[in-house]
Amino acid sequence: MIDDIGYKILGILQRKARIPNVEVARQVNMAPSAVLERIRKLESQGYIDGYEVRLNPRRFNRPLVVFVFVEIRDLACRTPVGQALSQISAIQEIHFIAGPDRFLVKLRVADADELDHLLQEDIGRIDGIHRTGTHIVLSTIKETANIPIGETT
């Protein structure tokens, strides 16, 4: 069970994972050693999965975000199609969803030519895929990996 201080620490780390431990301690009014112990405990209990650096996709020529609905032939194709999709480096997320479109895939590409190549040569050649539907993102209103914490747990 996490107490209020634990939630505060998680909130601080979610906003800025590279914040010095001393600064976290100052913000929660605790000794740095006690905060470090709490963080290690949160990690060992599985509340913290890891720490990531968010790269700017435009600096790596990956400005175009695309969502692709992938309909599979039947449920027997779920695992092999999911495994094949996960091998494509441009794909950032793969979700198995309810409804006729069994997978929702998020990918980042440089341009329409790269997207076309992915759809035709990579995704389109996976055995078990019945059809795809592509949706190009025109603008992103909100994008975050942060999870609301302490509000409903």
Q: What is the pLDDT of residues 7-23, one digit of tens each?
A: 999 999 999 999 999 99
Helix (H, G, I), strand (E, B) or coil at 10: helix
pLDDT for the residue 149: 87
Residue type, 151: E
Q: Nearest-CA neighbor of 133 among 72, 88, 81?
A: 72
Q: Which residues contact 1 (CB under 8 A, 6 or more apart)?
A: none
Identify the H or E element spanning 36.
helix 32-44
Can you give the residue ranges of every domain in the chain? 4-44, 57-136
Q: What is the pLDDT of residues 98-125, one digit of tens each?
A: 988 799 999 999 999 999 999 999 999 9
The CATH number assigned to the domain with range 4-44 reads 1.10.10
Average of pLDDT values for 28-57? 95
Tokens of 112: 């329409």
Q: Nearest-CA neighbor of 57 among 116, 106, 110?
A: 110
pLDDT for the residue 151: 56
pLDDT for the residue 89: 96
Query: Could you say which of 3.40.50.2020, 3.40.30.10, 3.60.110.10, 3.30.70.920 is the CATH number of the domain covering 57-136?
Result: 3.30.70.920
Identify the H or E element spanning 134.
strand 129-136
Q: Do domains 4-44 and 57-136 have the same CATH topology?
A: no
Tokens 């990531």, residue?
52
Tokens of 122: 């990579």
Helix (H), strand (E), coil (C) string for 63-112: CEEEEEEEEECCHHHHHHHHHHHHCCCCEEEEEECCCCCCEEEEEEECCH
